[in-house]
Amino acid sequence: MMNILHINSSLFGEGGKSSQMANEFIQALRSNLDSSALVSRDLHSNPLPHLDGERFSAFVTPAENRNDAQKRIVAESDVLINELRDADIIILGIPLYNLGVPSTFKAYIDHIARAGETFRYTANGPEGLLSNKKVYVFAARGGQYKDTPLDTQTPYLRHIFGLMGISDIEFVYAEGLNMGPEVADKALADARKQLLEKAA
């Protein structure tokens, strides 16, 4: 049984190009697997609260000292972390907004990147606590940013998942989607070819 965790973050929901790529990849991938289980989250239709002082305090308060409100906050985070722990494959649909990841996705990261749970601090620096996971990122961009200093997403995703011990990450980019239909159509066709190859 292959466990798949799927996260979409387009503000257009299922209509977003990153969502469409991720969804098509999942369909193709599952058709090539003997058996699989899928957990999906759409961060646009079901957003998580953004990190604030109350939530951060709940995360760092020892379990035996948490009040009822803090226990509820931590329980929400624990569900997300357990989904991540259980996953063999993680599939992300991520558009580029204002040169960064969507704020809904950042909120998701702030709930799963927790010291003592998905990474820990050591004398030699942070150490990831997750392993043996594969991440596929389906990145949709209006302009063309890949391999330029303006692409902040790729290094951020590599670093933040690396912090948690996940280093096997592949990207499929569809860029130039706002640069006219000819550029957009080619970008989507190329991305579709890549995702089908990876799913095989």
- Per residue in 70-128, pLDDT (tens digit) is 999 999 999 999 999 999 999 999 999 999 999 999 999 999 999 999 999 999 999 99
**Tell me: the pLDDT tens digits for 140-187?**
999 999 999 999 999 999 999 999 999 999 999 999 999 999 999 999
Q: Tell me what pLDDT residue 25 has.
A: 97
Is 10 among the annotated ligand-binding positions?
A: yes
Give backbone dihedrals phi and psi of 135, rounded to 5 degrees, phi first.
-115, 135
Q: Write a three-state SS string for the chain.
A: CEEEEEEECCCCHHHCHHHHHHHHHHHHHHHCCCCEEEEEEECCCCCCCCCCHHHHHHHHCCHHHCCHHHHHHHHHHHHHHHHHHHCCEEEEEEECECCECCHHHHHHHHHHCCECCCEEEECCEEEECCCCCEEEEEEECCCCCCCCCCCCHHHHHHHHHHHCCCCEEEEEEECCCCCCHHHHHHHHHHHHHHHHHHHC
Rounded to an integer, the average pLDDT of 45-60 is: 96
Q: Tell me what pLDDT residue 45 has.
A: 95
**Tell me: the pLDDT tens digits for 22-36?**
999 999 999 999 999
- Cβ pair 195, 138 in contact under 8 A: yes
> Please, which pLDDT band fits residue 65 given cuts at 50, 70 and 90?
very high
Q: Tell me what pLDDT residue 58 has.
A: 97
Q: Tell me what pLDDT residue 83 has.
A: 98
- Domains in the chain, please, with CATH? 2-199 (3.40.50.360)
Identify the residue whose tokens are 């709930």: 111
Q: Tell me what pLDDT residue 188 has.
A: 97
Q: Tell me what pLDDT residue 86 has.
A: 97
* Whole-number Å distance between alpha carbons of 8 and 190: 20
